[in-house]
Amino acid sequence: MSTDPAPRPIPRRALLPLILATALPSVPREAGAQPAAGTATRPLANAVTELGDWLLAELGLRRSLPSFALSPFNLHGTLALLALGAPPRQSAPLARSLGLDPARIDARADALARLRGLATAANGPEARISIGYSAWCRQTRRFEQPWRDMVRRAGGARLGRLDFASPSAAETVNAWSARATQGEIPRLVDRLPRDADLVLAGAVHFAGRWETPFREEATEMAPFHRLDGSTVGVPMMRQRLRAHHGTADGARILRLPYAGGRLAFWAAAAERVEDSAAFLARVAAAGPGRWLQAQALRAVEVEVTLPRFTLRAGGDVLPAIAAAESGRSLAGELRGVISRPVRLSEVQHHTRIRVFEEGTVAAAATAALASRGMRQTEEFLADRPFIFAIGPTAGWLPLFIGQVSDASQTLA
């Protein structure tokens, strides 16, 4: 008779991330087997990757934070809605920076719809992505009809009006955030500027079970090696399974599938603990997502060691986006969304990611016993700083990307 504890609820990886609020009324593979996406969506997938790489490097890796994560997919999708309003000539710089057609707004909407479809096509019974957008304008303003039509064509958004001077305005946005992320991000904003004209919000939520779950009773406290050379005890999950693994640039790369095999978790760490800082600097310079995408992996037996962690990050990312060459197009007037031009004043982006054991002992035992003792066994150790990403296996599209340099700072 099994003595295993009852399984936990399905872990949620959620991000409600983007609020664009303006107070000024006028004035961003597996080698040979992990493609960037289909031909039609490749420019957008590349733009999503570039946005995530820039922000993870600028806000996380180069600042030596204990941990940081974001959803480049969600940030890109929300910013891209701003490119659906203004005449093509005026909005072409923004469109180009997001991988969208500079000449035709209808083509931009169609491309965004295809990108959303690429993400949700990976959905299955036990691993699902949900995406949502919402926008509110001041009560005395209106959304322009051409923009409403293009947003609907791109996949839709909930539109409404708000009295931004009311104390309840922020709670309206936060209530939407809580619903869109299934309770993971219940408070997206503390307040809204009284003179705001527009708030545009986007959310992506992911919940998935590992294809081969970790056994909870196998998790034990073990040392995590921090960048300063010290160690700290953290709950470390362990298992042996068949998974995609590779080595490159003094690092080991692992891809763990979620149930159904169409979504996966990528992780990479230095082979030698003492090389962790150099590894993080190297991938920051190369672009973490682009570096992960380029690595050749093969299916082998792997001994996996991965910390159980909960990661939270949030704040205004507009300064970091604007510092990128491709982000300069966000600095000017944005036309065609509501009945008067606006300027972007803030981009609040919040992320919560939980990685832990999920599933049944039977499933874990069955996977561990599949080919025991019959193949060469590789090892993947995330008991040291590592980077990670979550996305579809059919085409490179980083829904979430992040880094953990001190797992003791990520525990719930």
Read off the pLDDT of residues 13-60 as tens digits, 9 standing for 90 and up.
Answer: 222 222 232 222 222 333 334 555 566 788 999 999 999 999 999 999
Q: What pLDDT, on a 0 to 100 scale, did the predictor assign at position 376?
A: 53
Judge whether residue 153 has pLDDT over 90: yes
Percent of the chain having pLDDT more than 90? Answer: 44
Q: How far is 188 from 170, CA to CA, in rounded Å?
A: 9
Which residues share a beta bridge with 19?
Answer: 201, 348
Q: What pLDDT, on a 0 to 100 scale, did the predictor assign at position 411?
A: 52
Q: What is the mean pLDDT of the chain?
A: 82
Task: Report pTM.
Answer: 0.86
Q: In 3D, which of 360, 387, 355 has the Cα closest to residue 56?
A: 387
Q: What are phi and psi of 216, to 5 degrees?
A: -65, -35
Q: In 3D, which of 21, 55, 234, 255 has the Cα closest to residue 135?
A: 21
How far, CA to CA in Å, does 36 sit from each of 41, 74, 78, 97, 245? Answer: 8, 17, 20, 17, 19
Residue with tokens 């503390």: 190
Q: What are phi and psi of 43, to 5 degrees?
A: -60, -40
How far, CA to CA in Å, does 181 sit from each of 131, 204, 262? Answer: 9, 7, 21
Read off the pLDDT of residues 277-333 as tens digits, 9 standing for 90 and up.
Answer: 999 999 999 999 999 999 999 999 999 999 988 888 888 888 898 888 777 777 777
* Domains, the chain: 12-28+42-208+310-353 (3.30.497.10), 216-309+358-409 (2.30.39.10)
Q: In 3D, which of 287, 359, 357, 329 has the Cα closest to residue 102?
A: 329
Find the mean pLDDT for residues 360-384: 43
Read off the pLDDT of residues 54-103 as tens digits, 9 standing for 90 and up.
Answer: 999 999 998 888 998 889 998 899 889 989 988 888 889 989 999 999 99
Question: In this predicted structure, which of 82-91, 119-128, 151-160, 370-379 has the lowest mean pLDDT?
Answer: 370-379
Q: In 3D, which of 381, 202, 255 has the Cα closest to residue 306?
A: 381
Q: How far is 291 from 72, CA to CA, in rounded Å?
A: 15
CA angle 301, 304, 309 (to 5 degrees): 155
